[in-house]
C-alpha cells in the first residue's frame, strides 16, 4: 500500500489490493503531490502520481507499457515527474519525465536503456533530470551505466562509462548544477559515494567499502549530501550518513542497518 504521513498520521493512497510504493512528495499550499507506482494485477507497474489522494496514471500496466515515477516537483501550475517507461518484452526502459501528464522521453529506446531518478525545475522553467543510461537493450545489452543529467532534454554525462555509475538526486543553486550518486572504483571494486558540481566529481568515500550518495541539497555555499556507507569492507550492511562539505556525519552507528535517501536544510 502506498502511504504518506502528515504530522505522524498515515494517509493511504491505495486500497492495499495491489502492491504499491510512494517515493516522493511535494507540497504547495494545501495541495499534496506524491509520486510512485502501483502494480496492475500484481505484475506490471503503473507509474502514477496522486494529488490530494486522487490518482493520475502516467503509464499503462502491460508488459510493453509500464513504468515507475521516482521524483515529483511543482513549479507554478505545472507538475513535473521523473521516472521511466518500460517495455519488458523488448528489454528496455526509457528515462522519462512527465509535464502535466505528458511524457518526454530522454533517449532513443532503440539504442539505450536507463532511468530518471530525480527532477528539479528552476524558476525559469528549465527542467533538470538526474539518472543513468546504458547502451544496448534486451539480449544486445552490453553497456555500463553512465551517471548523467539532462537539462531540457539535453544529455550531460557525469562519468565516462568505464565503471558502473548512477546519479540519484539533482539540485540547482545560483546556476550551478549539483548531482549525487555513486561510481564503482576500478581497482577495489567498491562503489564510491560522489557528488558532482557542474560536472566536476567530488568523492565522499575512499573506495574501501560500498557507499552511495542518494540525496543532495545546497544552502548558500554549503553542500549537504545524504547516503549510506557499509559497516566494513566485508559487510553488505549500511549505516545512514550525511556529508556537509565532504565531512561525514554518521546518523546511526548501531548494529542496525539504515539508509539516508533525502536531505533538506532550512
Domain identity same for 185 and 136: no
CA–CA distance, 213 with 200 (Å, rounded to integer): 15
Structure confidence by residue, pLDDT tens digits, 25-76: 999 999 999 999 999 877 899 999 999 999 999 999 888 889 999 999 999 9
**Which strands, in side-by-side order, build the sheet including 165-173?**
165-173, 176-184, 191-197, 200-203
Domain identity same for 21 and 136: yes
pLDDT of residue 112: 73
Residue that is last in its domain, among 157, 179, 214: 157
Domain identity same for 27 and 141: yes
Residue that is last in its domain, among 130, 157, 184: 157
Domain identity same for 247 and 127: no
> Which residues have a Cβ under 8 Å from the Cβ of 2 and sit 6 or more positions away?
12, 13, 14, 20, 21, 22, 34, 36, 38, 50
CB-based contact 35:23 (threshold 8 Å): yes
Domain identity same for 124 and 185: no
Judge whether 143 lies within some domain.
Answer: yes
Average pLDDT over residues 155-175: 96
Domain identity same for 31 and 121: yes
pTM of the model: 0.93
**Cα 47 to chain center, whole Å?**
14
Domain identity same for 45 and 111: yes
Judge whether 162 lies within some domain.
Answer: no
Structure confidence by residue, pLDDT tens digits, 100-149: 999 999 986 556 789 999 999 998 999 999 999 987 655 445 578 999 99
CB-based contact 258:251 (threshold 8 Å): yes
pLDDT of residue 86: 86
Domain identity same for 120 and 231: no
Print the domain residue range for 151.
Answer: 1-157
Judge whether 163 lies within some domain.
Answer: no
In the chain, how many domains are there? 2
Amino acid at each position: 500500500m502506498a502511504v504518506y504521513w502528515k504530522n505522524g498520521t498515515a494517509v493511504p493512497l491505495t486500497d492495499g489490493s495491489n502492491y504499491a510504493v510512494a517515493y516522493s512528495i511535494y507540497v504547495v499550499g494545501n495541495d499534496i503531490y506524491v509520486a510512485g507506482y502501483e502494480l496492475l494485477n500484481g505484475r506490471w507497474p503503473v507509474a502514477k502520481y496522486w494529488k490530494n489522494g486522487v490518482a493520475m496514471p502516467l503509464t499503462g500496466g502491460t508488459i510493453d507499457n509500464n513504468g515507475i515515477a521516482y521524483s515529483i516537483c511543482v513549479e507554478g501550475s505545472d507538475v513535473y515527474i521523473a521516472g521511466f517507461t518500460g517495455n519488458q518484452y523488448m528489454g528496455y526502459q526509457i528515462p522519462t519525465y512527465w509535464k502535466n501528464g505528458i511524457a518526454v522521453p530522454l533517449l532513443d529506446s532503440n539504442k539505450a536503456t536507463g532511468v530518471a531518478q530525480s527532477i528539479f525545475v528552476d524558476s525559469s522553467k528549465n527542467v533538470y533530470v538526474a539518472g543513468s543510461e546504458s547502451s544496448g537493450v534486451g539480449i544486445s545489452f552490453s553497456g555500463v551505466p553512465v551517471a548523467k543529467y539532462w537539462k531540457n532534454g539535453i544529455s550531460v554525462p557525469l562519468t565516462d562509462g568505464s565503471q558502473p555509475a548512477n546519479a540519484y538526486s539533482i539540485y540547482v543553486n545560483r546556476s550551478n548544477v549539483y548531482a549525487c550518486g555513486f561510481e564503482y572504483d576500478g581497482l577495489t571494486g567498491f562503489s564510491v559515494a560522489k557528488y558532482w558540481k557542474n560536472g566536476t566529481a567530488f568523492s565522499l568515500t575512499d573506495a574501501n567499502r560500498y557507499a552511495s550518495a542518494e540525496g543532495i541539497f545546497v544552502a548558500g555555499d554549503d553542500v549537504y549530501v545524504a547516503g549510506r556507507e557499509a559497516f566494513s569492507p566485508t559487510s553488505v550492511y549500511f549505516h545512514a550518513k550525511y556529508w556537509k562539505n565532504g565531512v561525514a556525519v554518521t546518523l546511526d552507528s548501531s548494529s542496525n542497518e539504515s539508509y539516508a535517501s533525502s536531505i533538506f536544510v532550512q
